[in-house]
Amino acid sequence: LFLSLTVASGRAQVQQEPFLETSQGSAISINCSHPNIRTGDFIHFFRQLPGRSPELVAITAKASKAARAPEGELRVSADRRWSALWLRRPRRGDAAVYSCALGP
């Protein structure tokens, strides 16, 4: 299973690893750094499956939130300067481009 990442940005700059790889069923964390996050910004994680439009996976302002498809959790640091989309048991069908963004 390959999970590939790209950088996406809303109003503020975000940084991600360019590529991640894991075995099917092995948990993985997709990290995103956003040191210049502003009050009022929400953290969004999207994924784009091959041949499909991007879809929202999870969104939060500051608290960790469950993600259902794929199953996992969007985790946020106390200072909101980084976040991570943790995927519990990714499957072959979860191989996609994952991106994070900040915005309203």
Tell me the domain boundaries of the chain: 25-103
- For residue 84, what pLDDT is reported? 93
The arithmetic mean of pLDDT across residues 20-43, rounded, is: 86
pLDDT in tens, 41-96: 999 999 888 899 999 999 999 889 998 888 999 999 999 999 999 999 888 888 88
Q: Measure the CA–CA gap between 1 and 19, rounded to whole angstroms.
A: 12
Q: Does domain 25-103 have CATH number 2.60.40.10?
A: yes
pLDDT in tens, 55-67: 999 999 988 999 8
Decide: helix, strand or coil at residue 4: strand
Q: Percentages helix, strand, coil for the chain, rounded to the nearest 5?
A: 5, 50, 50
- For residue 17, what pLDDT is reported? 65
- For residue 9, what pLDDT is reported? 44
Q: In sequence order, which residues have a C-beta less than 8 Å from that of residue 72 and are 6 or more positions away?
A: 27, 66, 85, 86, 87, 88
Q: In sequence order, which residues have a C-beta less than 8 Å from that of residue 102 and are 6 or more positions away?
A: 9, 10, 11, 12, 14, 34, 37, 38, 41, 42, 43, 44
